[in-house]
A and B are shown apart, each in its own frame.
Chain A
Amino acid sequence: GAVVSQHPSRVICKSGTSVKIECRSLDFQATTMFWYRQFPKQSLMLMATSNEGSKATYEQGVEKDKFLINHASLTLSTLTVTSAHPEDSSFYICSAEGASYNEQFFGPGTRLTVL
């Protein structure tokens, strides 16, 4: 199966700083990437969908100016949490979909802790 990586796997930052999370498709070209957030003991919540070279589509209630998404190439998407606060602490997961696949492949997730 296709492989998706995320970096970093874990990050701790101070309140007010910005954090960038990378999502890469390692062995296929991802036409679409998705970003999810998961709070403890809850299910995954879709935050936004990004297509290579175009602006991301955000789900209702997700602040686009706070969660900046860049999908600059067919193998890389980044999520930047700007001016992070403790309530942004969560498990962030990306997934990627290629033109030849009928399923999404998920990354291992990034644990963000904002102090």
Chain B
Amino acid sequence: DAKTTQPNSMESNEEEPVHLPCNHSTISGTDYIHWYRQLPSQGPEYVIHGLTSNVNNRMASLAIAEDRKSSTLILHRATLRDAAVYYCILRDNSESGGYQKVTFGTGTKLQVIP
């Protein structure tokens, strides 16, 4: 079962910031929070990931709650190309020499309004 909860859909106006929430109340101490997005008819694309501290990259920012039970993906200026399904996923990166299955939930479908 998916270990994260996200709203089914959200809307944003173009060029405005978007805050996509994710709840993960059962997160363990070694779980990293990963975000992927999937554009229509394409494979998922990595967006960002973090453990405890907030993270920034060229695509987005990730704000992680102090208790780590929730996080928020922040797109600073939404463009039409950001319209996609955004998936929040927990992944234990601490295991060495092994792999970690990724379980996708239903994600949040982001609609960007021109």
Total contacting residues, chain B, CB less than 8 A:
22
Secondary structure type dominating chain B contacts? loop
* A32 pairs with B102, CB closer than 8 A: no
Q: Interface with B: A12-20, A64-72, A74-82, A103-111, which one?
A: A103-111
Q: Cβ of B34 < 8 Å from any Cβ of A?
A: yes
Given contacts A91-B41, A106-B45, A109-B42, contact A43 B102 (CB under 8 A): no
Given contacts A43-B106, A43-B107, contact A106 B101 (CB under 8 A): no
* A103 pairs with B34, CB closer than 8 A: yes
A residues within 8 A CB of B101?
34, 46, 49
Least Cβ distance of B52 to chain A in Å? 15
* B102 pairs with A104, CB closer than 8 A: yes
Total contacting residues, chain A, CB less than 8 A:
26
A residues within 8 A CB of B38?
44
Q: Cβ of B68 < 8 Å from any Cβ of A?
A: no
Rank and list the top 5 A-B pairs by shortest CB-CB distance, nearest first: A106-B43, A32-B99, A44-B104, A102-B93, A43-B104
Interface residues of chain B, those whose CB is within 8 Å of chain A, are 32, 34, 36, 38, 41-46, 49, 87, 91, 93, 99, 101-107
* Subset of 25 A-B contacts with CB under 8 Å: A1-B46, A31-B99, A34-B101, A36-B104, A43-B104, A43-B105, A44-B44, A45-B104, A49-B99, A91-B41, A93-B44, A95-B43, A95-B102, A102-B32, A103-B34, A103-B49, A103-B91, A104-B46, A106-B36, A106-B43, A106-B44, A106-B45, A107-B43, A109-B42, A111-B41
